Amino acid sequence: MTVIDANRMHEIETGYPEYFHRSFRQRFGGLMVLIATLLYSLYAVWFFDLPKLFTEAHWERVGIYLSQWVSYDVQPEFRIERDGSIDIRYPRFSPLGDNPHPDWLVNNPDGSITVSISGTSRSVTVSKSETIVTAHGISVPVDVSSGAPKVIGPVPGWMTVYDDNVLADLGFAGNVSISVDRVKIRKRFIGWANFIFDTQSSFFDKPVGEVVSLIVSGPRIKPDQSNLSLAFDDIWNNSEWQHGDVWTKLFQTIVMAFLGTLLGSLTAFPLAFLAARNITPNRLLNQILKRFFDFLRSVDMLIWALFLTRAFGPGPLAGSGAIFLTETGTLGKLYSEGLENIDNKPREGIKSTGAQTVLVHRYGIMPQIVPIFVSQTLYQWESNVRGATIIGAVGAGGIGLKLWEAMRTNANWENVAYMVILILIVVFIFDTASNALRHRLMGTKAH
């Protein structure tokens, strides 16, 4: 065990003051950051009134919207006529077509109709005098022969009785609304209805094998058009899913992002040389251009899109212009900062040979900045593919406008899911391609 005397201790303290005489910030800095974070979190809870927000939020809608993303429903209505017969009607644009005969609807010998909601565990039997709802292991009869529907026996928790209506909630499978003269059923199916062919197509409701056989070797459905061409037209012009319009708008979004980024980079490139202090020794010009870049990028792309849609009307031109203005500011700043951070030795060496300014830039600057500039431009292009979707919602064209129109109806959530998946796929492809190109240009290995 080594004993350190007072003199040696004093020498150590004098030689390493940063360890023995720490400042207030060094001693309590971490604690102060923790306290500041806690105080800010409490302030945010108060400012946004988070307890009230969470208690008053319509959380039940989350499940409804998510279920509608991956499913569709069929809504048959059973009208009980005065003579005791039951008339079955479907909505005008039913996913089953104009003359549906579903196998989950059975006409019984006694004149009643049984509808299977979810296998045999949940079903509804409609007759002229009563409707029997079977769910959760019990069958509940509802008398409809008098002036108002009446539940016979105890009312289960999944059934609600109103003055002139009885509503049975069968969960994800659907629901049943029972009144004296009609029974409305909502039956839910997993999947997207008529995604390939709509109800007006000649191939609608045909098995896959039959469709393939018709396309490959079957007789022509329309004498003046091949079955392959007819099938493509029916898919492209599907009235329910609008594949042609959706894909066209998606292509518009990609073109908007590409054109806006390309024009922005071409404009920012020469201006960046004028804005860089080490390239153009004119402080006034440097500051004017840098403030110009700050102005262009400080106005959000969405705001530029709003301005341009008012000036040129809705469409992809306004979207491309909004991206162009934003990217001119963003890339101009990135390019000029990249130029100011180059190594001046190659430039000075070429300059000392008496080479012209253009050659100095070409051989002394360009080899240093091209990989960086291209990498930054590719990243911005990738980002603008996502941004172009957002500005489309304000009328700048592309799939964003189509997505906003589908969301506004509050009923076409499966179409919303379709477009969101397409956008995710496109962003993933561009992200992967952009990363690969950037790593190749920078000479690094992609992970």
Q: What digits encode the pLDDT tens for the residues 188-221? A: 999 898 999 988 888 888 888 999 998 888 888 8
Q: What percent of the chain stands above pLDDT 90?
A: 31
Task: Give residue 39's pLDDT band: very low, low, confident or very high (50, 70, 90).
Answer: very high
Q: 257, 388 in Cβ contact below 8 A?
A: yes
59 vs 193, which has greater pLDDT?
A: 193
Average pLDDT over residues 96-104: 85
Cβ neighbours of residue 201 under 8 Å, at least 6 residues apart?
234, 238
Do 43 and 78 lie in one domain? The reply is no
Residues 37 and 162 in one domain: no
Average pLDDT of the chain is 85
Of the chain, the percentage scoring pLDDT greater than 70 comes to 93
Please give the pLDDT value at position 360.
76
Q: Are residues 14 and 157 in the same domain?
A: no
Q: Which residue has the higher pLDDT, 429 or 1?
A: 429
pLDDT the model gives residue 31:
85
Residue 100 predicted with pLDDT over 70: yes
Residue 141 lies in a domain: yes
**What pLDDT is recorded for position 52?**
87
Confidence of residue 3 (pLDDT cuts 50, 70, 90): low
pLDDT value of position 19: 61
> Which of 44-48, 98-102, 132-136, 303-307 shows the lowest mean pLDDT across its residues?
98-102
Whole-angstrom distance, CA of residue 302 vs CA of residue 326: 10
Least confident of 57-66, 90-99, 371-380: 57-66
One domain for residues 185 and 259: no
Higher pLDDT: 12 or 167? It is 167
Q: Once rounded to an integer, what is the mean pLDDT over residues 32-52?
A: 91
108 in a structural domain: yes
Q: How confident is the model at residue 296, as a pLDDT?
A: 92
Domain around 38: 6-47
pLDDT at 41: 92
pLDDT digit string (tens) for 113-150? 999 998 778 999 999 889 999 998 899 999 988 878 89
CB 93, CB 411: distance < 8 Å: no
Nearest to 385 by CA among 257, 251, 259: 257
Residues 32 and 120 in one domain: no
For residues 321 and 400, state if they share a domain. Answer: yes
5 has pLDDT over 70: no
* pLDDT above 80: residue 345: no
Q: Is residue 354 part of a domain?
A: yes
Q: What is the pLDDT of residues 141-185, one digit of tens each?
A: 999 888 788 999 899 999 999 988 999 998 888 899 999 889 999
Q: Does 281 share its domain with 371?
A: yes
CATH for 267 = 1.10.3720.10
Average pLDDT (69-81) is 90
* pLDDT score recorded for residue 331: 93
User: Is 234 inside a domain boundary?
Assistant: no
Domain identity same for 157 and 299: no
Is residue 427 within 8 A of residue 386, CB to CB? The reply is: yes
- H-run or E-run covering 96: none
| Residue 271 three-state SS | helix
The answer to whether 203 and 131 have CB atoms below 8 angstroms apart is no
DSSP H or E stretch at residue 146: none
The answer to whether residues 295 and 407 belong to one domain is: yes
pLDDT of residue 323: 93
Whether residue 54 is contained in a domain is answered as no
Tell me the whole-structure pTM to 2 decimals. Answer: 0.78
Please give the pLDDT value at position 18.
60
Asked if 177 contacts 144 with a C-beta cutoff of 8 angstroms, the reply is no
Q: How many CA atoms lie within 13 A of 8 on its CB side?
A: 4
Q: What is the count of structural domains for the chain? A: 3
Q: What band does 265 get if pLDDT is binned at 50, 70 and 90?
A: very high
Query: Would you say residue 201 lies in a domain?
Result: no
Q: What's the whole-number mean pLDDT along residues 236-262?
A: 91
Residues 271 and 402 in one domain: yes
Closest to 387 in 3D by CA, of 293, 300, 263? 300
User: Is residue 68 a part of any domain in this protein?
Assistant: no
Do 411 and 333 fall into the same domain?
yes
pLDDT at 369 over 90: no
109 and 172, same domain (yes or no): yes
- Position 220 in a domain: no
